[in-house]
């Protein structure tokens, strides 16, 4: 374990260990082939390049002054000229803006039923994510960034070389969590060792997993982790790989999450009406999608959901209190709402 502190920023890199004792069963084994390893660094560079180029536009969807060094040598036409690449880039930038807005909205609220602020933010997928530095999150927010270890290491090295250091807002912390998402590894124990509390509400955001070409087992592992670790009424939003919209609610419900998907064109129109601007990304997100052999090709989606189960830690706490009450012949009325 390594730890670095820069002023009021604390950045820790915690290595992955498999979640052992408290683990809801996941009955699907990963089928990732050792001969095929998605280039996670290239995926992160691509997203960073798009954010850097978007920042230069007159009416950008977002501003990211840290993205340029992270893009390194990656370059392409921006906006892309190819129809499919244009649709993909539009999705990535709209997704980034959507997630930014959802994070700020969630972290500014309080769960009145539990009398708890949403001050734990877990970012999953992209180790080059700069939200901990560019978003003005409330003081007291602890941010956990879950991504492959090699991406974390490269990101920290590149950011450390810059004359203006990347710092989280005053009173906040960033903790980097190394986890091999492609192989379906769990980040549970690493998060807990980093100080994450599964008995308090949290906010989870997913971006960058779409480009990893995860198989069903690896994607299921991510949602199983969230189901195990997110306290009742925690919030989750982000992107999903190409999925039939009709299946999203059932997919989320299978992991105890109540939620829905968002139409990308509606998200684009909502942003445009709010900002009163028009930008290159205001194109049909379905561009580039077609029917192959009579089968419809679905595109990636955005979603938002709320945890409707107890986390495993909350279940243990509940069972412990029930057992203690039974020993003294008293009734215990658990309240996790």
Digit-coded pLDDT (tens) for 53-69? 999 988 888 999 999 99
Backbone angles phi, psi at 92, to 5 degrees: -60, -40
Is 188 within 8 Å of 23 (Cβ atoms)?
yes
Is 179 within 8 Å of 146 (Cβ atoms)?
yes
Question: Which tens digit of pLDDT belongs to each residue from 74-122?
Answer: 888 877 777 778 878 888 999 999 999 999 999 999 888 888 999 999 9
Helix, coil or strand: residue 210: helix
Q: How many whole angstroms separate alpha carbon 305 and alpha carbon 27? A: 23
Q: Scanning the structure block, which residue is given the tokens 């683990």? A: 23
Q: How many whole angstroms separate alpha carbon 207 and alpha carbon 229? A: 18
**pLDDT for position 295:** 67
Distinct helix (H) and strand (E) counts, the chain: 10, 13
Query: Is 298 a residue whose pLDDT tops 70?
Result: yes
CATH code 3.40.50.150 for 2-15+38-327: yes
Q: How many whole angstroms separate alpha carbon 166 and alpha carbon 169? A: 10
Helix, coil or strand: residue 334: coil
Residues β-bridged to residue 229: none
**Tally of CA atoms within 13 A in the half-sphere of 24 that contains its CB:** 20
**pLDDT for position 40:** 86
Query: Is 203 a residue whose pLDDT tops 70?
Result: yes
Q: Report domain extents, the chain.
A: 2-15+38-327
**pLDDT for position 325:** 59
Query: Is 14 a residue whose pLDDT tops 50?
Result: no
**pLDDT for position 291:** 54
| Residue 257 confidence class, pLDDT cut points 50, 70, 90 | very high
The chain-wide mean pLDDT, for the chain, equals 81
pTM (two decimals):
0.83
| Average of per-residue pLDDT across 216-235 | 93
Query: 139-170 burial by CB neighbour count: b if 16+ within 10 A, else e?
Result: eebbbbbbbbbebbebbbebbeeeeeebbbbe
**pLDDT for position 229:** 97
| Residue 217 confidence class, pLDDT cut points 50, 70, 90 | confident
| Average of per-residue pLDDT across 237-266 | 90
R_g over Cα of the chain: 20
Q: Scanning the structure block, which residue is given the tokens 């244009």? A: 86
**pLDDT for position 17:** 35
| Average of per-residue pLDDT across 239-243 | 87
| Of 220, 248, 126, 144, the residue nearest 189 (C-alpha) | 144
The token pair that represents 248 in the structure block: 């999203």
Query: Is 279 a residue whose pLDDT tops 70?
Result: no
């Amino acid at each position: 374990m390594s730890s670095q502190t820069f002023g009021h920023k604390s950045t820790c890199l915690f290595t992955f260990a498999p979640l052992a004792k408290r683990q809801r069963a996941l009955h699907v084994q990963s089928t990732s082939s050792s001969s095929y390893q998605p280039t996670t660094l290239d995926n992160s560079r691509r997203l960073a390049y798009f954010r850097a180029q978007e920042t230069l536009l007159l009416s950008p969807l977002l501003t990211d002054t840290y993205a340029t060094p992270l893009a390194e040598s990656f370059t392409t036409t921006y906006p892309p000229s190819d129809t499919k690449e244009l649709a993909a880039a539009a999705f990535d930038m709209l997704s980034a803006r959507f997630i930014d807005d959802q994070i700020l909205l969630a972290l500014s609220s309080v769960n009145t039923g539990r009398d708890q602020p949403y001050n734990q933010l877990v970012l999953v997928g992209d180790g080059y994510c700069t939200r901990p530095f560019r978003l003005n999150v409330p003081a007291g927010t602890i941010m956990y960034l879950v991504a492959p270890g090699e991406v974390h290491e490269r990101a920290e090295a590149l950011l450390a070389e810059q004359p203006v250091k990347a710092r989280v807002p005053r009173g906040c912390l960033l903790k980097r969590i190394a986890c091999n998402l492609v192989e379906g590894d769990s980040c549970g124990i690493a998060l807990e060792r980093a100080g994450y509390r599964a008995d308090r509400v949290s906010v989870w955001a997913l971006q960058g997993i779409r480009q990893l070409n995860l198989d069903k087992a690896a994607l299921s592992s991510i949602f199983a982790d969230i189901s195990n670790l997110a306290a009742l009424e925690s919030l989750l939003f982000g992107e999903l790989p190409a999925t039939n919209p009709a299946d999203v609610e059932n997919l989320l419900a299978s992991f105890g999450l109540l939620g829905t998907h968002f139409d990308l064109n509606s998200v684009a129109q909502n942003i445009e009406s709010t900002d009163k601007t028009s930008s290159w990304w205001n194109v049909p997100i379905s561009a580039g999608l077609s029917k192959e052999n009579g089968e419809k090709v679905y595109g990636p989606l955005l979603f938002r959901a709320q945890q409707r189960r107890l986390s495993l830690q909350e279940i243990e706490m509940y069972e412990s209190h029930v057992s203690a009450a039974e020993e003294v012949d008293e009734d215990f009325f658990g309240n996790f709402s």
